[in-house]
Amino acid sequence: MIETRGLTRRFGERTVVDDVSFDVPAGMLTGFVGGNGAGKTTTMRMIMGLLGVSAGEVLWQGRPMTAADRRRFGYMPEERGLYPKQKILDQLIYLGELSGLSTPRARASATESLERFGLADRSGDRVEKLSLGNQQRVQIIAALLNQPQALILDEPFSGLDPTAVDSMVDLLREETGRGVPVLFSSHQLDLVERLCDRLVVLRAGEVVAQGGVEELRARGPERLRVVTDRDAGWVRDIAGVHVLDVDGAEALVELADKDERASDAVRRAILTAGLDRGEVRELATVRTPLSEIYREVTA
Amino acid sequence: MNHPDASDTTETRPAERPWLLVARREVVTRLTDKSFLIGTLITLVLLVGFIGWTIWSEDRTERVTIAATAEDATTAQLLQREIPEVDDGLEVELVEVASDDDGVAALEDEDADVLLRPADDGWTLVGRKEVSGDLTAAAESIIRDATLTANAERAGTSLAELRQGSTVDTALLAGDAERQDFARAMGFLLAFLFYFAALGFGYTLSGSVVEEKANRIVEIITTKIPVRQLLIGKIAGNTLLALAQTALIVAVGLVGISFTEYSSFLSGVSAGIGWFAAFFLVGFLFIACWWAVAGALASRAEDLQTTAAPLSFVMMGVFFGAFLFEGTIQTVASYVPPFSIVLMPIRVLEGDTAVAEPIIAIAILIAAMAATVVLAERIYRRALLQTQGRVTLRQAWSAAD
């Protein structure tokens, strides 16, 4: 498990990352979200030891993380970090060797990954000849070459088409299956929602929310959708309900009280009132989209 | 690391001597770069061509056709006989013409190179557009001697008597003039080679540093190996390449010279060339550190011109210093890095140094290099991850890690 404790980074007078503490548990995909300039990249660079920390620390398996630990991590920088003019296989072997693999092992590992991504026939091409998506694939191969014990990926999905996203997801799932903690940043919230086991939300250098996606969702008020056979405007008269939207026979409401007994009572009140006026075709809990949660916590 | 690793899945160890991997990549990348190979080849071809031309023109004899009328045949024959004796690069053929006008026609038709024409007070050599300076000089001395001999006989004396006490010769206390000139030329050539290599490989080195920065691959590399190892590897790789290329050029040059009339001077300059090799090695390491820093201060290839400009000026200063510094300034500068890199070997070549002098100068250079590695590493490390535009030396120096 990776833990950051009170991680802080100042550039001169400016505090870019402020007292950031979060966990990246083993075997879980942890999504790292936040607007531009929220401090995601700076935090990841501090975790990877590329930037010094102004205060705080990074722990690996409960003790301060060392350079030797980081050498066994897979890291993908924000922009594609490869030599554009070097041949793909040569480049992967070089990076594997720098990670401490022997040349034959680096070659075997790189060849295998290239085959897996359908890039085996391009292994003699220069990186700049590849499409953006394929360059991204080579990058993830580079990060996985030495069977990393943790993965830190800065925007791994940017620029990928849906198929490439899927194969990347499969790959990351495989890694978490091995018990590897994975931290990845992204601004594609729908993707993060679909993928992650956990979420860390950063705003202006501070962690504003973290936890499981369901956990975060549960924090907000419950939402209900009511569908009747006539105008649903009557929902406005029910106590304990905050009406978000009424559109003809359909209404979207938010329960004011999070208490379970109270919300059950409100649910019953809606149903009774609806049946008094006609039919109630649907009364369902609406899953709050992550983007909404994100907007709320970063507002 | 004392703690056992809970999730140890593979037995990778840190790469041993990772700078060697980096150096190897620098060398291989360069050796598979067509423009580098072609550039080296062209340099060698030009060098071989130049030496070949020198040897050829040394052995070559020029045939000159002199036109003269029957009346002037005696002088013309004298020239034909004597000119090859005076200048072994010249051979003369005679063409007899009926009149001066026919002679001019022969010149115009290119049947003759020169027309011998009597003048009021001696002779004129008429040419189309030019008359070879060698020919004129030879003809002048032959005709002067012949005339002087005739005039002397008429006056009842001899040429030898007339010439008595008029010769001027030169003598040097140390070596001879030709050998000195050769040492000097050699020194300038070696200074030029250093300039050529320091600038060429320096730009390559800083270019490859910027490339890594601009493509962010440096972020991946420095999570795997320490920044110092990366810096050492890049410097070692480029130094090796620069040394190898320069050694190749010098070797081809020396082999070439051994075929020329200067071959006898080679043994006299071998000590100087040996010192040059030593100074080049240390000097290139010294300067390469700064080229790496220049690269690290830039974020994109376009920035490099600005960040590397001061270094280019220093290189030019070193180069011109080799030509322009004389006397005390030369002696003092030959101890001061980076001037010492070329000035001390030049002084050794010219043979005006005591045994200890190059040893002291190279010790100073090694000390400067060691200090530079420490300074450069700090700047390099701090500038390397700043990818927003150019970084000033001051910013890089004072930046937090």
CB contact under 8 A, B218 and A69: no
CB contact under 8 A, A50 and B217: no
CB contact under 8 A, B222 and A86: no
A77 reaches B (C-beta below 8 A): yes
Q: For chains A and B, what is the number of CB pairs under 8 angstroms?
A: 99
Give Cα A161 to chain centroid, integer Å.
17
> What does the alpha-carbon distance between residue B281 and residue B278 come to, in Å, rounded to a whole number?
5
CB contact under 8 A, B216 and A72: no
Please report residues of B whose CB lies closer than 8 A to that of A101: 12
Please report residues of A whose CB lies closer than 8 A to that of B10: 146-147
CATH class of domain segment(s) A220-298: alpha beta
CA distance B369 to chain A (A): 27
CB contact under 8 A, A52 and B401: yes
Q: From A221, A284, A288, select the one nearest A256 (Cα to Cα).
A: A221
Please report residues of B whose CB lies closer than 8 A to that of A54: 400
Q: What confidence score (pLDDT) does residue B3 get?
A: 40
Mutate to test the interface with A, among B28, B220, B222 (most CBs of A within 10 A): B220
Give Cα B7 to chain centroid, integer Å.
60
Q: Which residue has the tokens 């680096």?
A: A106
Q: What confidence score (pLDDT) does residue A63 get?
A: 94
Of B8, B216, B225, nearest to A98 by CB-CB distance is B225
| Residues across chain B | 401
* Chain B, nearest residue to A76 by Cα: B220
- Provide CB contacts within 8 A for A269, sequence distance 6+: A238, A239, A240
pTM of the model: 0.77
CA distance A6 to chain B (A): 18
CB contact under 8 A, A147 and B10: yes
Which ipTM was obtained for this model? 0.81
What separation in angstroms does the CA of A87 have from each of A135, B225, B355?
A: 12, 22, 51
Please report residues of B whose CB lies closer than 8 A to that of A94: 21, 25
Return the sign of the alpha-carbon dihedral for residues B13, A134, A28, A151: positive
> What does the alpha-carbon distance between residue B401 and residue B396 come to, in Å, rounded to a whole number?
10
Q: From B338, B243, B357, B253, select the one nearest B289 (Cα to Cα).
A: B338
Q: What confidence score (pLDDT) does residue B36 get?
A: 87
Of A70, A84, A94, nearest to B223 by CB-CB distance is A70
Phi, psi at residue A33, to the nearest 5°?
Answer: -120, 160
- Provide CB contacts within 8 A for B228, sequence distance 6+: B377, B381
Residue A174 CB burial class (10 angstroms; 0-12, 13-18, ≥19):
exposed
Please report residues of B whose CB lies closer than 8 A to that of A26: 7
Query: Is CATH 3.40.50.300 the right assignment for the domain spanning A2-213?
Result: yes
A230 reaches B (C-beta below 8 A): no
* Chain A, nearest residue to B1 by Cα: A68
Do A2-213 and A220-298 fold alike per CATH?
no
What separation in angstroms does the CA of B381 have from each of A146, B363, B387?
A: 25, 27, 12
Q: What confidence score (pLDDT) does residue B8 get?
A: 42
- Provide CB contacts within 8 A for A51, sequence distance 6+: A9, A42, A45, B385, B401
Over residues B253-267, the pLDDT tens digits come to 888 888 877 777 777
CB contact under 8 A, B9 and A149: yes
Domains of chain B: residue spans and CATH: 18-48+177-398 (no CATH), 61-155 (3.40.190.10)
Q: What are the residue ranges in chain A where pLDDT is below 70?
A: 80
Helices (H), B60-122: 73-86, 100-108
Query: What is the 8-class DSSP label of residue A265?
Result: H
- What is the residue type of A244? L
Domain boundary assignment for chain A = 2-213, 220-298
Q: What are the residue ranges in chain B where pLDDT is below 70?
A: 1-15, 169-177, 387-389, 398-401
